[in-house]
Amino acid sequence: MKHPIIASVARMIRDGDAREAETALVAVADKEGDLVLAQVIEAMPPRDLVAILREHDSSRSSVVGELITPERFVAAVAMEAKYNDPKHDALRGMINMVIFREDDPDSFIEALGRSEAGLLALVDYFSDRHEELESFFQHGTFSHLDEAPAEVPEDDRDLADAEMGSSFRQPKDNLDEVQDRDWRELAWRLRCEHYETFAELLRIMRARARRAAASVTPPAAAAKSGDSGADPDDKEESFI
């Protein structure tokens, strides 16, 4: 679709005014209807979509977030990685806003799970929640972490034994208990309704944790090599 607003929005975003760009899109919906705006969003480049989406979270809705399709959302999420945000706050906000909008979270979760960029976005989304994910997977509840820390297994054989149809590690928490429109709800939906994506997510996070752990030089080895810069009190963390 060719619409003059697409070039106008791109220009506003280049000028650093993503909010003004979204206001212009709202004006299109007001004048021409949501169907036309949905077609405009479908035709917009991902870099412009993500610039607008990053300004929002689940507490502040976006017209783009309300009308974007799962496929365009994955394209926008892939572009978000180029911002190199180490905390991933904007990523979490836009994922929460879109997945937990009122209609169909499953289609967005499925689209993210089918795409390498989408899977990596989920890894970044949960980057500071690996221990919570492992605990929920291993014990079926988010509350067990209060009793004992979770550890990364030496291999991933347990992931193959935990399909929802099996009796292995059935969740104890139900959706009503974790429906926070945030990471707990997304983790529950992945574990209980999209297990294939959840298992792949954990495989990637475990592989990263193992690589990080392997890169830490044990104090004894450092002393043997004559490295006086190592702190003998340093301890390897389960989750990095």
230 falls in which pLDDT band (50, 70, 90)?
very low
Chain Cα centroid distance, residue 183: 9
Residues 95-116: pLDDT tens digits? 999 999 877 899 999 999 999 9
Q: Enumerate the H helices of the chain as residue ranges.
A: 4-14, 18-32, 34-43, 46-53, 63-67, 70-80, 89-99, 105-114, 116-125, 130-139, 157-160, 175-178, 183-193, 195-214, 219-224
Assess if residue 197 is contained within a domain: yes
Residue 229 in this model has a pLDDT that exceeds 50: no
Long-range contacts from 126-135, C-beta under 8 angstroms, 24+ separation: 126/183, 126/187, 126/201, 126/205, 127/88, 129/183, 129/187, 130/205, 130/209, 130/239, 131/238, 131/239, 132/183, 132/187, 133/187, 133/201, 133/202, 133/205, 134/202
What pLDDT score does 150 carry?
82
Residue 217 in this model has a pLDDT that exceeds 70: no
Residue 10 in this model has a pLDDT that exceeds 80: yes
Residue 221 in this model has a pLDDT that exceeds 80: no
Assess if residue 79 is contained within a domain: no
Residues 20-66: pLDDT tens digits? 999 999 999 999 999 999 999 999 999 999 999 998 877 877 899 99
Assess if residue 13 is contained within a domain: no
What pLDDT score does 220 carry?
60
Assess if residue 59 is contained within a domain: no
What pLDDT score does 63 carry?
93
d(CA 100, CA 56): 13
Between 165 and 153, where is the model more confident?
153
What integer is the mean pLDDT of 139-168?
Answer: 77
Residue 219 in this model has a pLDDT that exceeds 90: no
What pLDDT score does 223 carry?
55
Residue 123 in this model has a pLDDT that exceeds 60: yes
Assess if residue 183 is contained within a domain: yes
Assess if residue 24 is contained within a domain: no
Residue 239 in this model has a pLDDT that exceeds 70: no
What pLDDT score does 149 carry?
80
Assess if residue 94 is contained within a domain: no
Residue span of the structural domain in which 198 resides = 127-226+234-240
Residue 82 in this model has a pLDDT that exceeds 60: yes
What pLDDT score does 236 carry?
40
Total domain count for the chain? 1
Assess if residue 63 is contained within a domain: no
Residues 157-216: pLDDT tens digits? 888 876 655 555 578 889 999 999 999 999 999 998 999 999 999 999 999 999 998 888
